[in-house]
Amino acid sequence: MKDQSRQRVLLVTGGCGFIGSCFVRQAVSKGDRVVVLDSLTYAGHRENLEGITGPGSFELVVGDIRQGPLVADLLKNNEVDAVIHFAAESHVDRSIDSPSAFIETNIQGTFSLLNASLSYWNDSQKQQKNKKRDFRFVHISTDEVFGSLGPEGKFSETTPLAPNSPYSASKAAGDFLVRAWHHTYGLPTVTTNCSNNYGPRQFPEKLIPHMIQCALDGRPLPVYGDGGNVRDWIHVEDHCTGVRLALEKGVPGSVYCLGGNAEKNNLDVVKTICRILDRLRPHPAGKLYESGLVFVADRLGHDRRYAIDDRKAQKELSFFRRYAFEDGLAQTVQWYLDHPHWSSAVLKGKDL
């Protein structure tokens, strides 16, 4: 068994991003020592780690997951107990316009990280047998790798992968690599596939923060197609709770789906944001924010519906959700209203 007196050490890739930084906050609050590896691309920001406190600690290392020697040194020098792999290019529109970055990060980066982890895991077995048993590689993926659903049914761990965008194809490739490194080499991996995240500190290119920012700036609120595309929404805190449970209870080689049990179409989400803003920050011109809604040409290859069946995670991991969507969305809108300096800092020099 692992020495319980020793502080758990986690290497978190992409820990300056939206979801990764939330996980770092949770881990530090639980007493873990976290090594954050982030290349600080447009969606990764030091500001996301500000104000983190707790019995644990963290340090930020600026670097690329494709730098094998750097990753190897971080694993060895910190005696890492687990790799939590959040680092990814994740915006579908960007993947359509420029897919190369997605191939490099989501495929080549995952490959490099797996190789470094495998070498470290094998070396650890030779030096300390319990390290081999306790080490975990947790790969964070998405429900988009499963493709698009019709009006009925939900994705589960047995759903065949059928990605439809360069982004989801690159994530599916990463999922397959993780699976292969477990089945071929025995690396103790766990993969999670989550639904759409929302919450504080999400970069304003994604639907919810983008609509909040557009509304506050007095810009039109652009909705793709007819607004009928359906997503299952999970609060980032709930998602990260699921990732932590997968780390602690997940069976090596297993996949766990994590959902929010909150299917909403995009138009309804935008209208709900408008109603919340009407209440919390009335429009300076006295009109309703919903009056800014405009429908724009649909995204290429836009999947119609996603939904997650996460009963396996509930049963095997004791996964649970704290946030109902409406409450979580209101909290999220309030956070952006209360933190305009964060939005200004992360959007400086960006054209969205």
Report in angstroms the alpha-carbon separations of 80 from 134, 152, 339, 343.
10, 43, 34, 33
* 32, 38, 144, 175: the active-site residue: 144
Looking at the chain, the number of H-run helices and the number of E-run strands are: 13, 12
Is 143 an active-site residue?
yes
Q: What six digits make up the tokens of 269?
A: 């989400």
Three-state SS at 232: strand
How many CB atoms are located within 10 Å of the residue 239 CB? 26
How far apart CA 75 and CA 82 sit, in angstroms, is: 9
| Burial label, 35 (beta-carbon count in 10 A; 0-12, 13-18, 19+) | buried
Active-site residue, selected from the candidate residues 32, 64, 167, 310: 167
Half-sphere exposure of 258 (CA within 13 A, CB side): 31
Please list, in sequence order, all residues whose beta carbon lies within 8 angstroms of the beta carbon of residue 186, skipping any fewer than 6 positions away: none
- Nearest-angstrom CA–CA distance, 46 and 40: 8
**Is position 351 annotated as part of the catalytic site?**
no
- Does residue 256 carry a catalytic annotation? no
Q: What is the dihedral of CA 224, 229, 90, 112, to 10 degrees?
A: -140
Name the active-site residue from 38, 81, 143, 175.
Answer: 143
What sign has the CA pseudo-torsion 15, 19, 21, 23? negative
* HEC assignment per residue over 93-133: HHHHHCCHHHHHHHHHHHHHHHHHHHHHHHHHHHHCHHHHH
Give the amino acid at 143: D
* Rounded (5°) CA angle 346-235-249: 115
Which are the catalytic amino acids? 143-144, 167
